[in-house]
Amino acid sequence: MEQRKLYPPYGVNQTGYLDTGDGHQIYWELCGNPKGKPAVFIHGGPGGGIANYHRQLFDPERYHIMLFEQRGCGRSKPHASLENNTTWHLIDDIERLRNLMGVEKWLVFGGSWGSTLSLAYAEKYPDRVSELILRGIFLLRPQELHWYYQEGASRFFPDKWERTLSILSEEERGDVIAAYNKRLVSDDRQVQLEAARLWSLWEGETVTLLPSENADSFSEDKFALAFARIENHYFINGGFIDETQQLLDHIDVIRHIPAIIVHGRYDMTCQVQNAWDLAKAWPEAELYIVEGAGHSFDEAGILHQLIQATDKFVTQ
């Protein structure tokens, strides 16, 4: 079967800023057919952003798509802000954006951290979600953070991990997330930037199975500062989800929602075990484990499954 690719580039119909009322301005854009199936794209990170090619995951003739940049990310303001920036703030923002779009329900598409936020949103507002497409599953469990920022992925990338540890003392290396946090919230902007570049580059160079020419863009100052500060802020706080709110424990409230889960077999950022655990808890969901792929959405096999998914749900 021929591998599906992104839809050809297309523009936006409308852009704007959502005033959250507590100090943030959320950048959003609407694309596609205003009479098409409503969908929202939730980006990764936390601390990432959207790019033009993200809208190309959807057929512009059949979908009406909301894309937005989470608090402190991309074009949202203030840049890299941690104030009033938690999972629950973001969920409220998504619901405000649905109301702004004027739709009763929408398809929710999220990858990596976007899968976490999509699940959390759906569990809080199950009646507002028509379908879910989830990629690179991240469930925010302590063992997942330990794998990527302490012991696990580092064994596959010892050279890149050594660079990540290079600014830390031996004592600090026992808790890398906490050690980086001290630097990322420092009053010294240069200290922030040094840590941000290293933190971001670690992810940029490990999200794909094969080296990517886009990895260096992770260390660009503006992107790195938001990405590292916000991501670290969420992780040191356990994603603001306590043990009684664990996403897997509340799957029953969304099991009626049609869902497709896509995960790369060799994902070093978020292990395939995450997707397996989610599918076991949610047997009604369709699980696609993609051979020869890592974490990134645009790796060939993963992208194929994602386009198949958006096409499937728009025809049902």
**Dmax over Cα atoms in the chain, in whole Å?**
58
Question: What is the spatial distance between Cα 88 and Cα 274, in angstroms, rounded to a whole number?
Answer: 22
Strand partners for 16:
28
Question: What is the spatial distance between Cα 298 and Cα 135, in angstroms, rounded to a whole number?
Answer: 11
Q: Where does residue 175 rank: exposed (0-12), middle (13-18), buried (19+ CB within 10 A)?
A: middle
Catalytic residue, chosen from 233, 267, 296, 304, is 267
Could you say which DSSP state residue 253 is in?
G
Side chain identity, residue 311: D
Question: What is the spatial distance between Cα 26 and Cα 177, in angstroms, rounded to a whole number?
Answer: 27
**What does each C-alpha distance from 44 to 95, 249, 281 come to in angstroms?**
18, 22, 23
Burial 64-98, CB ≥16 within 10 A → b, else e: bbbbbbbbbbbbbeeebbbeebbbebbbbbbebbb
* Pair 253, 282: CB distance under 8 Å: no
- Is 263 one of the catalytic residues? no
- Is 166 one of the catalytic residues? no
Catalytic residue, chosen from 54, 233, 263, 295, is 295
Strand partners for 134:
110, 261
Question: What is the spatial distance between Cα 216 and Cα 19, in angstroms, rounded to a whole number?
Answer: 32
Catalytic residue, chosen from 24, 76, 93, 112, is 112
Q: Angle of helix 176-184 relative to helix 142-149, nearest 10 degrees?
A: 80
Side chain identity, residue 263: H
Could you say which DSSP state residue 252 is in?
G
Question: What is the spatial distance between Cα 302 and Cα 288, in angstroms, rounded to a whole number?
Answer: 9
Residues marked active site are found at 112, 267, 295
